[in-house]
Amino acid sequence: MNKKPTSSNTVWHQATVTRLRREKLNNHRGAIIWFTGLSGSGKSTLAHAVEEKLYNRDCRTIVLDGDNVRHGLCGDLGFSDEDRKENIRRIGETAKLFVETGVIVLTAFISPFSADRKQARNYVSHGDFIEVYCQSSIEECEKRDVKGLYKRARDGEIKEFTGITSPYEAPINPELIVNTEELSLEHSVIKVWEYLEKRNLFGT
C-alpha cells in the first residue's frame, strides 16, 4: 500500500486528461517492466535494448536505471537495508506517475528484497507490473564485472554488497524469467518482446 502523506491537508486532484486518454494518444498501454537480478546479470543492458525496440515502434518510454537514479532522486541514500527499501519505494512511486501518463517504464534495479518488489507492484493496478527476472549465476556475474565491484566486496572494501555480504531474494513467481547467462542479448530482447505482445501492451 502507498504511504499515507504526513500532512492531512492534502487532497488528490483528479486530472481531466486521464490515463485512458493519454494511452489512446500513445496507441499503447502504460506499464512497468521491472528488471531485477544480481549486479552484472544484464538488467540495464536488456532494459535499454528493449527500450530501443519500443522506441522504434513509436512507443513512449523511459528507463529508470539503478546507478543513474542514485545520481539524483536517490542520491542521498546508501546501501543499508533501510536505504535500499526507501530506494525502491521512491522508484515505485516515480514509475507509478509515469504509468499514469501512459508511458512504458523500464526499471533496472537489483531490488534484492521480495517485499519491496511486491510493494512496487501494489502501487499500480493489476496487470500494470511485469516482473522480469534476469537470471544469472553469481560466477557469471563476477566474470562480467568490469567495474571490479565483486572483487572489492570480497576484499571487504564494499560493505553490504548484494550476493556477497547482503542477500538477494530471487523472484518466486515473476511474469518472465530471462536466463541472461545462456541467452544472447538479441534472444533475450525477443523473449521480452514476445511476452509484451502476449500481454497486449500495444494498441488501446
pLDDT tens per residue across span 170-193 = 999 999 999 999 999 999 999 999
pTM of the model: 0.90
Domain range annotation of the chain: 19-136+168-198
Q: At what angle do helices 185-198 and 43-55 cross, to 10 degrees?
A: 60
Per DSSP, the residues of 11-38 read -PPPPSS-HHHHHHHHTB--EEEEEE-S
Rounded Cα distance between 146 and 164, Å, is 17
Q: Which residues pair with 202 in a beta bridge?
A: 28
Per annotation, catalytic residue among 44, 111, 166, 188: 111
Q: Exposure of 179 by Cβ count < 10 A (0-12 exposed, 13-18 middle, 19+ buried)?
A: middle
Cell numbers placing 123: 502501487
Dig out the grid coordinates for 149 from the structure: 565491484
State yes or no: is 111 an active-site residue: yes
Structure confidence at residue 1 (pLDDT): 43
Higher-confidence residue: 184 or 2? 184
88 contacts 120 by C-beta, under 8 angstroms: yes
- Give the CATH fold of the 19-136+168-198 domain: Rossmann fold (3.40.50)
Work out the pLDDT band at 5, boundaries 50, 70, 90.
low
Comparing 81 with 92, which gets the higher pLDDT? 92
The amino acid occupying position 128 is D
